[in-house]
Amino acid sequence: MSKIFNTSADCKPKLHYMVDISEKISEIKELVDRGEYFTINRARQYGKTTILRALGRTLEESYVVISLDFQVMSYANFENEQTFVSAFSSELLDNVKAIPEEINEKLIAFADGTAGNITLFTLFRVLSKWCGLSKLPVVLIIDEVDSAANNQVFLDFLAQLRGYYINRDVKPTFQSVILAGVYDIKNMKRKLRPGEEHKANSPWNIAADFEVVMSFSAEEIAGMLQEYENDHHTGMDIKEISGLIYDYTSGYPFLVSRLCKVIDEKVAGSGQFPDKADAWKREGFLEAVRIVLGEKNTLFDSLANKLSDYPELREMIYALLFYGKEIPYNSLNKPIEIAEMFGFIKNENNKAVISNRIFETVLYNLFLSEEVVGNRIYDSALQNKNQFIKDGKLDMKLVLEKFVEAFDYLYGDQNEKFIEDVGRRYFMLFLKPIINGTGNCYVEARTRKMNRTDIVVDYRGEQFVVELKLWRGKKYHADGEKQISEYLDFYHLKKGYMLTFCFNKKKEIGVKEVWYGDKLLIEAVV
Q: Is 90 exceeded by the pLDDT of residue 178? A: yes
Q: What is the pLDDT of residues 181-223, one digit of tens each?
A: 988 776 555 433 444 444 455 678 899 999 999 999 999 999 9
Over range 138-151, report the average pLDDT: 87
- pLDDT, tens digit, 9 for 90 and up, residues 440-458: 888 876 655 444 568 899 9
Instruction: Kindly tell me if the per-residue pLDDT of 116 is higher than 90.
Output: no
The two beta strands, 37-41 and 176-181, are parallel
Residue 363: which pLDDT band, with cuts at 50, 70 and 90? very high
Query: Quick one: pLDDT at residue 190?
Result: 43
At 387 the three-state DSSP class reads: helix
Give the helix/strand (H/E) hosting 351: strand 351-354
Local structure of 381: helix, strand or coil? helix
Asked if 484 and 454 count as a contact pair (C-beta separation under 8 A), the reply is: yes
> What does the mean pLDDT of the chain come to?
90
Q: What is the pLDDT of residue 512?
A: 94
Give the tens place of pLDDT for each residue, 454-487: 889 999 889 999 998 888 888 888 888 988 898 8
Answer whether 259's CB lies under 8 Å from 288's CB: yes
d(CA 107, CA 384): 72
Q: Is the dihedral of CA 49, 16, 268, 281 positive or negative?
A: positive
SS3 label, residue 223: helix
**Residue 484, amino acid:** I
Q: Is 74 helix (H, G, I), strand (E, B) or coil?
A: coil
Q: Give pTM, 2 decimals.
A: 0.88
Secondary structure, 3-state, 84-143: HHHHHHHHHHHHCCCCCHHHHHHHHHHHHCCCCCCCHHHHHHHHHHHHHHCCCCEEEEEE
For the segment 241-246, the average pLDDT, to the nearest whole number, is 97
pLDDT at residue 421 above 80?
no
pLDDT 10s digits, 391-405: 999 999 999 999 999
Q: Cβ of 116: how many Cβ atoms within 10 Å?
A: 9
**3-class DSSP string for 269-324:** CCCCCCCHHHHCCHHHHHHHHHHHHCCCCHHHHHHHHHHHHCHHHHHHHHHHHHCC
Give the Cα separation of 20 and 214 in Å (integer): 11
| Cβ-proximal residues to 168 (8 Å cutoff; 6+ apart), any chain | 35
